[in-house]
Amino acid sequence: MSYGFDTLQIHAGARPDPATGARQTPIYQTTAYVFRDADHAAALFNLQEVGYIYSRLTNPTVAVLQERIATLEGGAGAVCCSSGHAAQIMALFPLMGPGRNVVVSTRLYGGSITQFSQTIKRFGWSAKFVDFDDLDAIEAAIDDDTRAVFCESIANPGGYITDLPAVAKVADKAGLPLIVDNTSATPYLCRPIEHGATLVVHSMTKYLTGNGTVTGGVVVDSGKFDWAASGKFPSLSEPEPAYHGLKFAETFGPLAFTFHGIAIGLRDLGMTLNPQAAHYTLMGIETLSLRMERHVANAKKIAGWLETHPNVEAVTYAGLPSSPYAGRVKTVCPKGAGGLFTVTLKGGYEACVKTVDSLELFSHVANLGDTRSLVIHSASTTHRQLTEEQQVAAGAAPNVLRLSIGIEDADDLIADLGQALEKAHQ
Ligand SMILES: *Cc1c(COP(=O)(O)O)cnc(C)c1O
């Protein structure tokens, strides 16, 4: 039986608790699990039997969340971890090694730009930043040491949609996995695997949980990539010395990446999601489609209103007919362009800061994807560590505000923006 999205977001992965019949998924607040006997313990450690050993690796509450997100994304399996940034490291970890690189889009969440341009160098990895509208440039950046291509679907800080089918084609031709950060779109608006993505990562901190209570991440594997074809991914295709010579691709087939993520990634990197956080995210996902519909409707209305405001220079929202990326919405995220966009103010940096300080209903926070509306001046905060050139490339120039439109009454949000813009230009 195949169910629709609204049904799966509530039921996928969950079943009444076998011990008590509890209808809601219990929070299994336990570190370890009792082995039936010594043979059972050995089978679990050999990965010959799937079960629970220790909550750094697996936990029943987290497992329900993993299955639910894998289902919603159309993937074979998923591994939850402690944050969106952890998910990015967990996605790259089995693929990379010293001297290897990843080709990434310039249009990324500010923290991802820092993670890729600076921090991963400590592992001997590197990132090559490319304008992903230039497919030839992506192809030219790929070399013998490239192990993955990485982009966001609806890219932070909003207004940009990556042409996923075209980028997937480039990655495919080079025999490389495409990793898509689907945080801003969620599987309700965009399903990257259907467009050719190999892996999908999320910051569950944002729309999946949806109300600003949790830090979490997830890596979803499509199960479709042939890890053995090129010899470039020995950790998955060859005997893995970190797991007594186990060959993950041969042993687990489409679940190779998922099992590797648990048996080696979580075991040794330890970026584990806790069961309480998994519970909050499961609660959030139950209403994902309802929230995303309202986020999109509100964003459309507010972006359209802002576009005609005399103190506004430009609005970049792909859901507006004026957007150069409006055409991509139809193919990449047909249910809408999300709830994030940027607005460029007349009056530059000064007007931006004054507007932020005058807003009453919008909260000035470094977050997005909350039920409540949020605003940030990226250039002075999240994108502060970047050069002005990087800021502009990332859509976070000094005269730009990023709005994360919540699910309140659109008219109240418009009234709040109206009074703040007026104050900023007095
Ligand atoms: C927030 C965010 C991240 C990082 O996620 P954390 O949960 O904060 O670690 C990565 N990518 C995108 C698009 C994000 O919005």
pLDDT in tens, 229-281: 999 999 999 999 999 999 999 999 999 999 999 999 999 999 999 999 999 99
Instruction: Give the residue from 237, 256, 284 where a domain finishes.
Output: 284
Mean pLDDT of 369-373: 97
pLDDT digits (tens, 9 = 90+) for 409-423: 999 999 999 999 999
pLDDT digits (tens, 9 = 90+) for 375-385: 999 888 888 87
Instruction: Give the residue from 237, 259, 284 where a domain finishes.
Output: 284
User: 264 and 187: one domain?
Assistant: yes
Q: What is the pLDDT of residue 257?
A: 98
Is 344's C-beta closer than 6 angstroms to any atom of ligand 1?
A: no
Residue-by-residue DSSP string for 181-198: E-TTTHHHH--GGGGT-S
Is 339's C-beta closer than 6 angstroms to any atom of ligand 1?
A: no
- Nearest Cα neighbor of 134 from 121, 147, 151, 122 is 151
Expressed in angstroms and rounded, the spacing between residue 203 Cα and the centre of ligand 1 is: 5
Domain that residue 127 falls in: 5-284
- How many Cβ atoms sit within 10 Å of the Cβ of residue 393? 18
User: 310 and 243: one domain?
Assistant: no
Residue 332 burial by Cβ neighbours in a 10 Å radius (0-12, 13-18, 19+) = buried
Q: Which amino acid is at 260?
A: H
Is the pLDDT reported for residue 1 higher than 70?
no
Expressed in angstroms and rounded, the spacing between residue 285 Cα and the centre of ligand 1 is: 17
User: 43 and 167: one domain?
Assistant: yes
User: 249 and 351: one domain?
Assistant: no
Expressed in angstroms and rounded, the spacing between residue 112 Cα and the centre of ligand 1 is: 7
Give the CATH number of the domain where residue 62 resides.
3.40.640.10
Is 222's C-beta closer than 6 angstroms to any atom of ligand 1?
A: no
User: 262 and 403: one domain?
Assistant: no
Q: Which amino acid is at 59?
A: N
Q: What is the pLDDT of residue 380?
A: 86
- How many Cβ atoms sit within 10 Å of the Cβ of residue 109? 24
Is 202's C-beta closer than 6 angstroms to any atom of ligand 1?
A: no
Smallest CA separation from ligand 1 atom 6, residue = 84
CA 153, CA 160: separation in Å to the nearest integer?
A: 8
> In this structure, what DSSP letter does residue 264 have?
I
Is the pLDDT reported for residue 146 higher than 90?
yes
Instruction: Give the residue from 284, 305, 337 where a domain finishes.
Output: 284
The pairing of strands 199-203 and 217-221 is antiparallel
User: 144 and 274: one domain?
Assistant: yes
How many domains are contained in the chain?
A: 2
Percent of the chain as helix, strand, coil, to the nearest 5: 40, 15, 45
User: 279 and 404: one domain?
Assistant: no
User: 258 and 341: one domain?
Assistant: no
321 backbone φψ class: left, alpha, beta (φ>0; ψ -120 to 50): alpha
User: 293 and 169: one domain?
Assistant: no
Q: What is the pLDDT of residue 159?
A: 86
User: 247 and 297: one domain?
Assistant: no
User: 36 and 162: one domain?
Assistant: yes
Is 338's C-beta closer than 6 angstroms to any atom of ligand 1?
A: no
CA 92, CA 191: separation in Å to the nearest integer?
A: 20
User: 369 and 342: one domain?
Assistant: yes
Expressed in angstroms and rounded, the spacing between residue 201 Cα and the centre of ligand 1 is: 9
Give the CATH number of the domain where residue 420 resides.
3.90.1150.10
